Amino acid sequence: MNDLISIIIPAYNEAANIKPVHEAVQQEFASLSSPFELLFIDDGSSDPTLSTLQMLAGAHPEVKYISFTRNFGKEAAIIAGLDHAHGKAVIIMDADMQHPPSLIPQLLEGYREGYEQVVAKRNRNGEAKSRSFLSHLYYKLINRIIQVELHDGEGDFRLLGRKAVDSVLKMSEGNRFSKGLFSWIGFEQKTVYFENVERESGASKWSFRNLLNYGVEGVVSFNQKPLRICLYAGVISLVFALFYILAMAVQILRHGIDVPGYFTLISAVLFLGGVQLLSLGVIGEYVGRIYMETKNRPHYLVRETNTDEEQQ
Ligand code: UDP
Ligand code: MG
């Protein structure tokens, strides 16, 4: 197979990992005798990631890089990579060797068999128990709520054929949740498996808060169900309130007013206030999204690149 393969690697403060990952990928392709380009996206790193990339690109013509003006996040880095990739197929992987390059031949084999998407799925061995428990729970819940299906252990490590890449790029939305988008576009899909490994050097950039935000993003970028839940909650509380008022009216007609009803009054006010606040929060979430989408901002800005196209 002589089609060009693009490898996209988002890198945020990964100076120490650039060379090892380049070497590992190079080794894989040496035995495959297939042409490849390695496209690093420096996501506004504050360490020598960019200078390492410049040096590497000087010595190896297959190394391309795009450097952002600031940290735009991994999602933006992935789109930048997809925008600039020339390959017939594209492989997205992390810089920290947690996505083993030794899986590349299997991904390519899937592509050769005709799959537009070949997904690498990892197990969660060696991961903090609390994190894998929360992830399991999250995937159970999210698959009940949203229209696309997400699988635990499947991340951004995957191969996309040209058609799949073009489809992902057609989606211009600003709030991006790649996992969902990859699932949303469909196409024939094959899964290959790999063992969870520790990152090569440096620390993970995900804090608990990041993960929580990512989780919320997953739910709200793919549906309007939270809005509907609000609606149901509103309807149910209204029905209860009406029954309560009716019961009270009957009581008063029968026995007259006997208790001041201070407690019930306060609890009703608090309860309804809570429901209203919740609804407002969810509505605000969507209004915020509409606001961001109407701005139609570019997903990223390029500071410097050695690819031939300028920024989109
Ligand atoms: N990354 C990025 N921008 C960010 C955060 C992370 O490009 O703002 C890259 C990072 O350099 C790595 C990949 O995304 O190549 C995965 O990040 P990390 O290893 O921190 O995540 P984890 O493996 O812990 O999920
Ligand atoms: Mg990692």
Domain of residue 28, CATH code: 3.90.550.10
Looking at the 3D structure of the chain, how many domains does it have? Answer: 1
Please report whether residue 289 resides in a domain. Answer: no
Q: What is the number of the ligand closest to the CA of 199?
A: 2
CA separation, residue 251 to residues 39, 171, 240, 261, 273 (Å) = 75, 59, 16, 12, 25
User: How would you write the pLDDT of the chain (312 residues) with one tens digit per residue?
Assistant: 678 999 999 999 999 999 999 999 999 998 888 899 999 999 999 999 999 999 999 999 999 999 999 998 898 999 999 999 999 999 999 998 889 999 999 999 999 998 999 999 887 776 777 777 888 888 888 787 777 778 777 888 999 999 899 888 887 776 677 888 888 888 888 998 888 777 777 777 777 787 788 888 777 777 667 767 777 777 787 777 777 878 878 888 888 777 777 667 766 777 787 778 778 777 877 877 787 777 666 677 676 788 875 544
Please report whether residue 236 resides in a domain. Answer: no
Q: In terms of C-beta density within 10 A (0-12 exposed, 13-18 middle, 19 or more buried), how is residue 16 classed? A: middle
- Cβ within 8 Å of residue 185, ≥6 positions away: 164, 167, 168
Please report whether residue 211 resides in a domain. Answer: yes
* Nearest Cα to Cα of residue 91 among 71, 110, 114, 66: 110
> By residue range, what is the domain housing residue 101?
5-222+297-311
User: Pairing mode, if any, of strands 63-68 and 117-122?
Assistant: unpaired
Q: Angle CA(135)–CA(117)–CA(85) in degrees, nearest 5?
A: 105
- Tell which atom from ligand 1 comes closest to the C-alpha of 94: 15
Please report whether residue 132 resides in a domain. Answer: yes
Please report whether residue 34 resides in a domain. Answer: yes
- Residue with the smallest CA separation from ligand 1 atom 24 is 204
CA of 132 to the centre of ligand 2 (A): 15
Please report whether residue 123 resides in a domain. Answer: yes
Please report whether residue 288 resides in a domain. Answer: no
- Global confidence as pTM: 0.77
Please report whether residue 162 resides in a domain. Answer: yes
- Tell which atom from ligand 1 comes closest to the C-alpha of 41: 7
